[in-house]
């Protein structure tokens, strides 16, 4: 249910953006998904497809997922290293005083959308 929760959260964000920007329809939604976000992309896509079929704004949208590599910073030697490869222990000095820099996010990177302002502009040009 983790994935469905994220889908619902993202949909809420997209709904709010739609209201603010007079968006009538989303064409595509690009998400940045971190390597260690814990999201299973196949399952996530299934959830998204299930959800969008009953959500008018997203009905015809295409979901694009971009995987973001996870990096960890080592507090002891200052190095940054690949989290998935080495885990919590720094491969340079073997310290475990490390923290994740990036890689656990699930963010909307960009969207393509149609707005009712497009129509408004077209009308103005004609006049």
Residues that bind Zn ion (CB under 5 A): 74, 76-77, 79, 90, 92-93, 95
User: With 0-12 CB in 10 A as exposed, 13-18 as middle and 19+ as buried, what is 87?
Assistant: middle
Between 2 and 88, name the residue whose CB sits nearer to Zn ion. Answer: 88
Q: How far is the CB of 95 from Zn ion (least distance, A)?
A: 5
**Tokens of residue 77, six digits:** 């030697």
| Smallest distance, Zn ion to C-beta of residue 73, A | 9
Q: Distance between CA 119 and CA 126 in Å, rounded?
A: 11
CB nearer Zn ion, residue 11 or residue 79: 79
Residues 6+ apart with CB under 8 A from 16: none
Distance of closest approach, residue 99 Cβ to Zn ion, in angstroms: 12
**Least distance (Å) between residue 74 CB and Zn ion:** 3
Burial class (CB in 10 A: 0-12, 13-18, 19+), 4: middle
H or E, element range at 80: strand 80-82
Indicate the residue among 65 and 93 with the shorter CB distance to Zn ion. Answer: 93
Output 6 or 103, the one with its CB closest to Zn ion: 103
């Amino acid at each position: 249910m983790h994935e469905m929760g994220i889908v619902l959260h993202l949909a809420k964000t997209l709904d709010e953006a739609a209201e603010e920007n007079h968006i009538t329809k989303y064409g595509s939604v690009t998400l940045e998904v971190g390597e260690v976000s814990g999201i299973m992309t196949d399952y996530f896509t299934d959830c998204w497809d299930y959800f969008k079929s009953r959500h008018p704004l997203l009905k015809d949208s295409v979901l694009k997922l971009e995987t973001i590599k996870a990096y960890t910073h080592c507090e002891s030697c200052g190095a940054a290293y690949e989290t998935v490869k080495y885990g919590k222990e720094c491969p340079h000095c073997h310290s475990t005083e490390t923290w994740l820099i990036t890689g656990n996010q699930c963010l909307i990177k960009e969207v393509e959308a149609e707005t009712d302002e497009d129509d408004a502009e077209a009308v103005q040009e004609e006049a």
